[in-house]
Amino acid sequence: MKKELPTPAFTMQFKVRDYEVDCEGIVNNANYLHYMEHTRHEFCASAGLSFARMRELQMSPVVRKVKIEYIRSLGLGEEFTSCLDLRRDGARFVFRQWILNSRGKLIVDALVTVVNVIAGRPSRGEEFAEAFAAYL
């Protein structure tokens, strides 16, 4: 059964590098988390809230939960697209993230829940809501 995917709010292109694969020539499962994290960082920057700016504001986006389904593997040199969409759930921001290979086949599908901590204290998320208003 084919999964329904939303229209992404943000996408990034990648290519699998040699050090990201295991001895069988496929991407190690932890690297998919790196791809998705980098995509979130670039998304934040494109929304005007770079991680450098967050540090200036004493903001710390913290991953609270990751639910990930590995569907297929990527291999050495393969090009792929990392996609994300997001929604707000109270103080939490839930990123739906997925990775497609160059043929458009779903590789990974994940939900990543992020909360914001400001100067060491949990935030209600208004800072993210303001920065991400165009995508919510």
Domains (range + CATH), the chain: 10-135 (3.10.129.10)
Q: Average pLDDT of 39-50?
A: 95
Distance CA 129, CA 75 (A): 37
Distance CA 132, CA 124 (A): 14
The pLDDT tens digits for 68-122 are 999 999 999 999 999 999 999 999 999 999 999 999 999 999 999 999 999 999 9
In DSSP terms, 114 is beta-bridged to 63, 93
Q: What pTM was computed for the model?
A: 0.92
- Give the CA count within 13 Å in the CB-facing half-sphere of 50: 3
pLDDT at 47 over 80: yes
Give me the phi and psi of 125, to 5 degrees please: 90, 5
For residue 114, what are its two tokens? 């992020």
